[in-house]
Every structure is written in structure tokens, then in C-alpha cells.
Amino acid sequence: MNIKKLMTMSVIAIASATPVAAQIADNGTAMVIEKLNLTEEWDKTFPKSEKVSHRKVTFVNRYGMTLAADMYVPANVPAGVRLPAIAVSGPFGAVKEQASGLYAQQLAERGFLTIAFDPSFTGESGGMPRRVASPDINTEDFCAAVDFLSNEPNVDPEAIGILGICGFGGFAISAAANDPRIHATVASTMYDIDRCTANGYFDANDNAESRDRMRAAMAAQRTADYRNRSYRRAGGVVDPLPDDAPQFVKDYYAYYKTPRGYHKRSGNSNDGWNVSSSLPFINFSLLDRAGEIKSPVMVVHGDRAHSFYMGKTAYAKLQGDNKELLVVHGANHTDLYDRLDKIPFDRLAEFFHKNLK
């Protein structure tokens, strides 16, 4: 038997034994969906609506990570009807059982098929190591959600939008700039993660010396992580809360660390991101191509939010007459996580209904 034939038989034999090897036999083209351990009980931080149906779904991004999502569908939709759809994620460091799930359920009540998904490496989604953030992969997560929705039989593939909360507002704008299948985008109480990482809050540390110190600290941490074969976590929202904490930190504590918003899988509610996660955000700009977005974008922000300056800058980067800045008077950053008297859900639904048709 010649060596080429022997090698071929070996690959086939291995492929029949493991899914990973099967990908080798298929020249790496097979899409493999990881079986995730999904919680079936209702473990959200908000009550279940009787106006929608709910189920767990999974989908795969182009890096091969399997993502977990909650799907919400308006009740009593006639068979064969294709609905406009919205993919929701965020805040940065949260899980789908928190704010994104609330947004998804509320928008489903208003006529949309929605999914709230956990980003790669977080919550119930796959990816190792856990609690890693990536400007590229987290932008891709939105595009992968569009892949999934575009192939759902009860979704109109020409009527798909996305909604990002907090840091995922920045990822949503980044995704909209790169994916013409996204027909409408909302960034709610948004953070520009790369800006506040590289420059500090209010750009107070926007200088090479500060960035060099961050790079040195994270490089040293990478060396230590490899030596220790474990990843040091940065810590979630500070606990116990210092008396002199800034008001926005107190606002985060009031959401993530109390029964109002605490969740056991949320990084912000517990031990946070891996320390080295911040490193790529120093060199990566999420909003560089925002001015090239052709589809409508709405930026929603509270005028009392410490992050309002980021939302205003993002809005300024958008071009054309299809952008909108919706200012919620009297709202701080976390009010737009879960305050039903503050979040303008009817206005959001109006925006999406207008642009997803």
C-alpha cells in the first residue's frame, strides 16, 4: 500500500472518532456547533412576559465559538409570517439574563423576533479562556447573530437590526459599519470601550506615557498568567463600596451588586474580566468607520450619564440624515439598563418598525 493511501485511511479513521478530527478530514470547512450547558429555568433579573414565547438557541461565529441566546417571539404570530428581527447584547461585562434580555423581551412585545445573546467567552456562550473581551470578536458576535437570524424561517432577512447596550453599543456601531445586512442599529447608553481604555475617563490620560504604563502592566500580567497557568481577573464592580466612590460607581453597584441586577454568571456582578483583556483596546478604534454606515443609527443616552460624552461623539461621527440622537432627560448610565420608566421602548420600537420593512 502506498504511503499516500495509508495517510488518507488514517485521517478517515481518526475523523470517525472525534468531531475535531472530522473537521480535518473536511479540510476545515465543517461548521461545528458546541453543545452548551444551557439553563432551562427562568433565571433572569426581570419577570417573564406572558405576551411573548421564549426559548434558548445557539449559533456559531466565524471563529468557531458557539454562542448562547434567548429568543423572544411575539405571542400568537400566524404561521408563515416573517417578522423583523433584532439581536441584542450588552452591557459590557453583563449577561443576557440582565439588561439585554429585558430589552429583547420588551421589543418582542412590540412585534419583533428578538435574541439576547451572551458574547463569546462569557455567560452560557462558549470560548476559552473565560471572560476575555475582544474588539474584533465581540463585533463579530453581532454579525454572527445576523447569520443566524438570516436563516431563521420566521425572520425577514431584509429586516434585521441590532441593539447594543453600554460597551456593546460601540461594538454594534462597529458591526453596522462592516455588515450591510444590518438595516438599523441602536446604541443605548453606549460606551466607546477603546476610547475609555486608551485615554481614561473624559480623556484625562490621553498620552503615550499613560498607555505605556498600561501596556507594561498587562504585558507583565500575561507573563505571570502563563507561568501560573491561570488568568488573573480584574474584579467586577468594587465591593464593598468605598464612601468616596464616584456617583457612577455607586450607580453600577446599585445595579450589579444588589438583587436589582445581580446575576451569578455576570462578570460585573462577580470577579470581572481577565486583566489582560484590556490590551487590544489600546490600539483598536471601534468607531473609525462609523461615518461610512449607510443604514439608520439611533444613539440613546441619558443626559445625567457619565458616559454621555461618548454617545455624543459617536453621533457626531455618523454621517447623513438617517442618524438620530435620543436624549433621555434625567437618566444616568444605568437607568437605561432596566428602568422601565426611563428606557424609551416605544421610541425604539418606532425606530425599528420604520427602518425594518
Structural element, H or E, at residue 20 = helix 19-25
Of residues 29 and 121, more confidence is placed in 121
Give residue-wise pLDDT tens across range 53-104.
Answer: 999 999 999 999 999 999 999 998 988 899 999 999 999 999 999 999 999 9
Edge-to-edge strands, sheet with 297-302: 52-60, 66-74, 113-117, 83-89, 155-165, 184-188, 297-302, 323-328
Helix/strand/coil (H, E, C) string of 269-285? Answer: CCCCCEHHHHHHHHCCC
On the question of pLDDT at 3 being above 70, the answer is: no
Whole-number pLDDT of residue 79: 84
On the question of pLDDT at 5 being above 50, the answer is: no
Rounded to an integer, what distance in angstroms lies between the CA atom of residue 99 and that of residue 108? Answer: 14
Rounded to an integer, what distance in angstroms lies between the CA atom of residue 332 and that of residue 342? Answer: 9
On the question of pLDDT at 45 being above 80, the answer is: yes
**Residue 313: how many other CB atoms lie within 10 Å:** 15
Cell numbers of 157, please? 432577512
Whole-number pLDDT of residue 320: 84
**Angle in degrees, CA 65, 71, 73, rounded to 5:** 155
**Strand ranges (E), the chain:** 52-60, 66-74, 83-89, 113-117, 155-165, 184-188, 297-302, 323-328
On the question of pLDDT at 272 being above 50, the answer is: yes
Cell numbers of 214, please? 498600561
Q: Which amino acid is at 70?
A: D
Rounded to an integer, what distance in angstroms lies between the CA atom of residue 301 and that of residue 136? Answer: 24
Q: Using a pLDDT cut of 90, give the percent of the chain over it.
A: 89
Whole-number pLDDT of residue 28: 76
Q: Using a pLDDT cut of 70, give the percent of the chain over it.
A: 92
Whole-number pLDDT of residue 21: 39
Compute the average pLDDT of residues 166-190: 98
DSSP secondary structure of 187-207: EES---HHHHHHH-GGGTT-S
**Smallest Cα–Cα separation from 132: which of 261, 228, 238, 231?**
231
Whole-number pLDDT of residue 82: 97
Give residue-wise pLDDT tens across range 180-216.
Answer: 999 999 999 999 999 999 999 999 999 999 999 999 9
Helices and strands, number each (H, E), in the chain: 11, 8
Compute the average pLDDT of residues 149-154: 97
On the question of pLDDT at 350 being above 90, the answer is: yes
Q: Which amino acid is at 253?
A: Y
Rounded to an integer, what distance in angstroms lies between the CA atom of residue 11 and that of residue 76? Answer: 50
Helix (H, G, I), strand (E, B) or coil at 128: coil
On the question of pLDDT at 314 being above 70, the answer is: yes
Cell 462569557 sits on residue? 122
Q: Which residues of 146-157 are buried (b: 16+ CB within 10 A; e: fewer)?
A: bebbeebeebbe
- Beta-carbon contacts of residue 297 (< 8 Å; ≥ 6 apart): 173, 176, 184, 185, 186, 187, 318, 322, 323, 324
Whole-number pLDDT of residue 29: 87
297-302 vs 323-328, strand pairing mode: parallel
Of residues 28 and 243, more confidence is placed in 243
Cis peptide bond prior to 91, omega within 30° of 0: yes
Residue 11: pLDDT band by 50, 70, 90 thresholds? very low
Compute the average pLDDT of residues 136-140: 98
On the question of pLDDT at 22 being above 70, the answer is: no
Whole-number pLDDT of residue 26: 63
Residue 134: pLDDT band by 50, 70, 90 thresholds? very high
Helix (H, G, I), strand (E, B) or coil at 237: coil
